[in-house]
Copies of this chain bind each other. A is one copy, B any other.
Amino acid sequence: MKEQARGAEEADLELDGAGMREMAGLVLERLVSQIEGFGEQHAAGDWAKAWDGGPRPIPGMGVPHFEELLDEVLERAKASFFTPGPGYLAYIPGGGLFPAALASFLAAGINRFTGIRAAAPALVALEEEAIEWLREGLGFDPGVVGVLTPGGSIANFTAILCAREKLLGPELRKGVLYCSDQVHHSVTKSARAAGILEDRQRSVPTSAALAMRPELLAEAIAADRARGLLPFCVVSSAGTTNTGAIDPLPEISEICRREGLWHHIDGAYGGAFQLVEEGRARLPGILQGDSLTIDPHKGLFLPYGTGMLFVREREDLERPHKSSAVYLPEDPGAGVFDPSHFSLELSRPFRGLPLWMSLRYFGLDRFRAALAEKLRLAGWIREELDKEEGLEVLEGQLTVVAFKVRGGGGEELMEAVNRKGRVYLSSCRLKGEFVVRICVLSFRTREPHARMVVEDVREFLKG
């Protein structure tokens, strides 16, 4: 191996201990300073600097000063939605618990293979444990199984795939899927990916409260049966993105049972509220579906990258996923939690660690306290805005407070509040009308920010 020596130094991508410590120290210092300053920043993000240069040439040589790279990233981060900030009440807020971020670092650093149980049984057991804690915390029966996904979209996709494989098999082109006209677009996109094309998707109209009308669902199912099609799946929402509306889950489950359909409940945003009493009261029937999506990177405040799907029957989740190959380690046996039996993925990040670390470090009670607080804060905002004659606050049960400005002016209101920079709101259009949304879900959004949003809305109204 004479040639070896020539490139040996260049080919060495291992850093020495001192180098690793120095680089990590730089990241840590900057990151902690950033987080400490989150409360002081303008809630909208800083868009002053333009970044429109397009991709630069390939860097043949590296950049020896890691600090430069770090500073560039943080500078660029300024020009983004300030999702982790306490005043971020737009879209669905992000969280980013620090122990979870550390767990991502640790998981990537030790880089064990957690896609298959046999390759890291004691680590995969931590993932299983975290999923079990949430299963029990939500109130699901033992035996209900769960799997972690990169986000809610793939969780919803997986649910539709399970339903399709169970109920349609080779007749998949005849299968019809139902959701409300308020459904998240990831559902229709996922259904299409699973082979349920647009011609087999039905949008069921919603009530004034923006919840699916079960009698119209039943009619749509009957109409499709009359056409010789195979209704197989209803996707309902336990908290829509627009307004947090909750579909009538018990009625939909009843229809699905009667008709032999799979009931998937998309609780990507709202599902975590089932962990607290105050939330459970608003989510009747959330445990009665065949599957439930919950996004820990929403309601459990984790950094982006952790979605979750629960499925009532293990065999339904295994059916599309469990396989074997000559080069894989042996199957640990029936009934054992093995991520590769529940997912399209094989190599994957160790998603279980950030979730486990966060639940274990804080304990479930503190997550419950935080979720209960967000419900109270949103409830208080709703009450206060309801007192304003100039506003029409839409019905809503979770932590989205959506409202219209009577006689128009919603856009101006939102822009004025956002310009002020203490809180940041977003909007949507409902049946053609402009609706302002306030979504309380970041663990950093506390009482002062609730007061700020009410004050700033009032300031605009007083004009």
Contacts and interface: CB of A to CB of B under 8 A. Distances in A.
Interface string A134-149: 0011000000000000
Nearest to A199: B170
B123 A361 contact: no
B4 A447 contact: yes
Interface stretch (A55-63, A204-212, A255-263, A409-417): A55-63
Given A27-B105, A193-B320, A122 B361 contact: no
Given A125-B76, A197-B170, A349 B109 contact: no
Given A112-B83, A365-B10, A4 B426 contact: no
Contacts of A133: 55, 58-59
Interface string A310-325: 0000000000110111
A55 to B, nearest CB: 4
Contacts of A325: 184-185
A377 B169 CA distance: 47
Contacts of A63: 360-361, 363
A84 interface: yes
11 contacts: A8-B373, A8-B447, A10-B366, A17-B32, A62-B360, A96-B111, A102-B105, A108-B305, A115-B304, A193-B320, A241-B327
Given A24-B28, A27-B106, A304 B111 contact: yes
Interface stretch (A153-161, A245-253, A283-291): A153-161
A32 B20 contact: yes
A406 to B, nearest CB: 21
A220 interface: no
A74 interface: yes
B97 A31 contact: no
Contacts of A342: none
Contact of A11 (B106, B190, B373): B373
B101 A242 contact: no
Given A363-B59, A429-B326, A447-B4, A96 B108 contact: yes
Nearest to A303: B108
A334 B375 CA distance: 40
How big is chain A's contact interface, by range?
35 or more
B346 A186 contact: yes
A222 interface: no
A185 B102 contact: no
Interface stretch (A65-73, A224-232, A390-398): A65-73
A140 to B, nearest CB: 13
B1 A186 contact: no
A359 interface: yes
A128 interface: yes
A422 B101 CA distance: 33
Given A11-B370, A304-B347, A428-B326, A109 B3 contact: no
A348 B304 contact: yes
